Amino acid sequence: MTSRLRDELKEKVAQTKPEERHILLCGGVPCRSLRCLEVKEAVSDELHKHNFEEKVKVLETGCIGNCKLGPSLIIFPEGVVYRRLKTENAREIIEEHVLGGRLLEHLLHRDSISDELQHRREDMPFFQRQRRLVLKNCGMISPGINSYLSNQGYAALAKALTELTPEEVIAEVSRSGLRGRGGGGFPTGRKWQAARDTPGAEKYVICNGDEGDPGAFMDRSIMEGDPHSVLEGLILAAYAVGAGQGYIYVRAEYPLAVQRLERAIGEARKSHFLGDNILEQEFSFDLEIRVGAGAFVCGEETALITSVEGSRGDPNPRPPFPVQKGVWGCPTVINNVETLANIPAIVLNGAAWFAETGTEKSKGTKVFALAGKVRHTGLVEVPMGTTLREIIFDIGGGIPAGKKFKAAQTGGPSGGCLTEEHLDLPLDYDSLKAVGSIIGSGGLIIMDEDSCMVDVARYFCDFNRQESCGKCTPCRIGNKRMLEILEKIISGQGEEKDLQRLEDLALLIKNASLCGLGRSAPNPVLSTMRHFRDEYLAHIKDKHCPAGVCPELSRYYIDAKECRACGLCARICPVEAIYEVENERVYRIDPEKCVDCGQCQEECPFEAIEGGRKRKKVAGV
């Protein structure tokens, strides 16, 4: 921010009267996990103390998006953002800024690269480079119906019901080029058309909010921050396909989302957006929330259907597809949360407007959940086709602690990893598929040099093994066998043949499994083997874990070239594991005796002692 702008802002802060102000506080779950509700209470208490609680409103919003700022609040009309707040800061915010009109510089965000103070959301590169269509309300309004209505809420529904036939709605969505945001990337319009064309008196629409992908949280944020946009999208879908009943399937791990959706449904019913004769038209629709009980496979559509029906969530073969035979045997459309949240804007602004954004075959924007070893974690919405480099380095601020970027995991346990060579790859459905990964639901986990890719493959393989429903053999037993081979490699017993075995098994599971979980379960293994084969070989041939993660393969050893035979290490070793090699003037560590205490490495004046397990410090960065 230039000094002129800063002076202008300072002046604006000084001139604004306290009663013109209102405060938005991020109440997303990540901020709640850092005790933002206590901050909210403290701020309200301070306002009460000064008798301003009537004049200055404090509103809790959904997730603002930049979670590394949390707990944070924005003071309007100036739009100043204060970050990393504690309850102690409440007093100065109220007395100094709200009542006194003075900026509190020590609570502002300082950019880690340019070392500049950033006063407002608009000044931060994290927000500047995003294009927020789905998330436009998230963090900017409170999740109630009044805020939604004053931001063009339900205008698309009114337009569709009064001006458009269901066929016209489908045509509009088809023309927009919108594809399913849950992972498959199936054209939404075509899905709707298929359900509409299937004969049947009763039809259903389901919103898939079973965001089981570890590392993805965009659907949770939308359901919590802007629940009415999801409802409106679902009602429009119901109108288009001719459904009378709908379900929203939400994970039990998201209690706040369930609560917000329940409230939103209640409000929508009261305002006649749900129920009989919606907006006094000949269209009736109602919906119910179904809460999951912790099963990743239920995100797969046929499994989701059996789970909605109240049984264990076993998947079924397709065809018949849900659009032909779904819940209770009736034609059913299942759409992901983010897909549905895109619908109102498409209906309202038209297909051409939507298709302006994105690439040729992937239209619109995509919300990514940025997490892992990256400076600014949070929600990032960018046009399809944005490169990985822009997301990680320009928006995410790069890798913390001066570490090197190693890999980005996309698509969770069904996806694969992207490496340095893919940094300039435009991210969309087809480009990611070409390099052996998927866009998935949009989870983007960044890993630095401290992550061992073999262990990452083991982690995902273990996840898929746990979550396999057990119905078909390739997935149930194949994943277990793959895990065993990976564990063998990690423990130092790996042979070169194992790589071939892994590959054969992986292809077998991929080809022979019944549902999407099994068919995509080997992807993380295949993708790490493709891009980090040398790391596998280091584990197998050299019995060494380059990242220092696998305990058995992270033993200490002395680099003979560096060793000056000073003997210091042998003297401090508590178990006398270090001895001098006769006639060679070098020292060596006896791996049988070594207890991996690491003292020798700390003390060696020539840094000749290598290896050792690099302990991850919990939340060290």
Partner 1 sequence: MGNVRRRFYFFMKKPAAQLKEKAKGKYDKLDTVLEKYKGRGGVLVKVLQEAQEMYGHLPRELLIHVAYELDVPLSEVYSVVSFYSLFRTKTTGRIHLEVCSGTACYVKGMEDLLEYFRENLSLRPGGITDDEKYSLTTSNCMGVCSSAPVIKIGGELHGEMTLEKLQQLLKEHENDKQTQR
How many whole angstroms separate alpha carbon 430 and alpha carbon 361? 8
Span from 52-60, 180-188, 302-310, 491-499 in contact with partner 1 (CB under 8 A):
302-310
Residues in contact with 226: Cβ distance below 8 Å, sequence separation at least 6, in sequence order: 62, 135, 137, 138, 141, 143, 148, 341
Say how far apart CA 261 and CA 246 lie, in whole Å.
Answer: 13
Task: State the Cα–Cα distance between residues 73 and 91, nearest whole angstrom.
Answer: 14
Q: Rule CB under 8 A: is residue 29 a binding residue for partner 1? A: yes
Which of 367, 361, 363, 369 lies closest to 382, judged by CA?
Answer: 367
Q: How far is the CB of 22 from partner 1 (least distance, A)?
A: 26
Q: Kindly state whether residue 518 participates in binding partner 1, applying the rule CB under 8 A.
A: no
Q: What dihedral do alpha carbons 248, 249, 252, 258 form, nearest 10°? A: -10
**Choices 66-74, 270-278, 495-503, 587-595; region in contact with partner 1 by CB under 8 A:** 66-74
Q: Does 149 bind partner 1 (CB under 8 A)?
A: no
What are the angstrom distances between the C-alpha of 256 and each of 68, 224, 259, 617? 20, 7, 5, 30
Q: Does 443 bind partner 1 (CB under 8 A)?
A: yes
| Total site size for partner 1, rule CB under 8 A | 60
Residues of span 233-272 touching partner 1 by CB under 8 A = 251-254
Binding segment for partner 1 (CB under 8 A), chosen from 64-72, 165-173, 353-361, 583-591, is 64-72
97 in Cβ contact with 103 (< 8 Å) = yes
Q: Which of 211, 232, 300, 338 binds partner 1 (CB under 8 A)?
A: 211
Question: 592 burial class (0-12, 13-18, 19+ CB within 10 angstroms)?
Answer: exposed
Is residue 525 at the binding interface for partner 1, with CB under 8 A as the rule? no
**Binding piece for partner 1, criterion CB under 8 A, among 48-56, 62-70, 88-96, 129-137:** 62-70
The contact mask relative to partner 1 for 402-421 (x = CB under 8 A, - = no) is -------x--x---------
581 three-state secondary structure = strand
The site string for partner 1 over 456-475 (x = CB under 8 A, - otherwise) reads ---xx--x--xx-x------
CB atoms within 10 A of CB 336: 24
Question: Based on CB atoms, which residue is closest to partner 1, 218 or 240?
Answer: 218
Helices vs. strands in the chain: H and E counts, helices first: 25, 19
Cβ–Cβ under 8 Å, residues 93 and 136: no
The structure tokens 């340095």 sit at 420
Question: Which CB atom, from 201 or from 618, has the smaller least distance to partner 1?
Answer: 618
Closer to partner 1 by CB, 48 or 615: give it: 615
- Cβ neighbours around 98 below 10 Å, total: 24
β-strand partners of 417: 409
What's the distance, CA 51 to chain centroid?
A: 41
Cα angle 588-591-592, degrees, rounded to a multiple of 5:
125
Stretch that binds partner 1, among 106-114, 175-183, 366-374, 537-545 (CB under 8 A): 366-374
Check binding of 34 to partner 1 (CB under 8 A). Answer: yes
Whichever of 289 and 572 has its CB closer to partner 1, that residue is 289
CB of 512 closer than 8 Å to CB of 576: no
In whole angstroms, the minimum distance from the beta carbon of 377 to partner 1 comes to 4
User: Is 346 within 8 Å of 354 (Cβ atoms)?
Assistant: yes
| Packing angle of the helix pair 218-225, 227-241 (nearest 10 deg) | 100
Q: Could you tell me the smallest distance in angstroms from the CB atom of residue 372 to partner 1?
A: 5
- Quote the least distance from Cβ 397 to partner 1, whole Å: 13
8 A C-beta contact, residue 505 and residue 516 = no
Q: Is 296 in the site for partner 1 (CB under 8 A)?
A: yes
Spatial neighbors of 422 by CB under 8 A, at least 6 apart, are 388, 408, 435
Identity (one letter) of the amino acid at 486?
A: L
Q: What's the token pair of residue 374? A: 């990256």
- Per-residue b/e over 490-517, b at no fewer than 16 CB within 10 Å? bebebeeebbeebeebbeebbeebbbbb
**Is residue 369 part of the contact set for partner 1 (CB under 8 A)?**
yes
Q: How near is the Cβ of 617 to partner 1 at its closest, in Å?
A: 7
* Binding of partner 1 by 373 (CB under 8 A): yes
**Residue 322, interface with partner 1 (CB under 8 A)?**
no
Binding of residue 40 to partner 1 (CB under 8 A): no
Point out which span in 135-143, 159-167, 208-216, 553-561 binds partner 1 (CB under 8 A): 208-216
Nearer of residues 311 and 583 to partner 1, judged by Cβ: 311
Q: Which of 170, 216, 261, 457 is the binder for partner 1 (CB under 8 A)?
A: 216
Stretch that binds partner 1, among 97-105, 169-177, 210-218, 527-535 (CB under 8 A): 210-218
**Between 125 and 400, whose beta carbon lies closer to partner 1?**
400
Q: Which one of 111-119, 305-313, 487-495, 563-571 is the stretch in contact with partner 1 (CB under 8 A)?
A: 305-313
Interface residues for partner 1 in 67-86 (CB under 8 A)? 67-68, 70
Q: Which is nearer to partner 1, 295 or 529 (CB)?
A: 295
User: Where do contacts with partner 1 occur on this chain (CB under 8 A)?
Assistant: 29-30, 32-34, 67-68, 70, 211-217, 220, 251-254, 291-296, 307-313, 369-373, 377-379, 409, 412, 443, 445-447, 451, 459-460, 463, 466-467, 469, 615-620
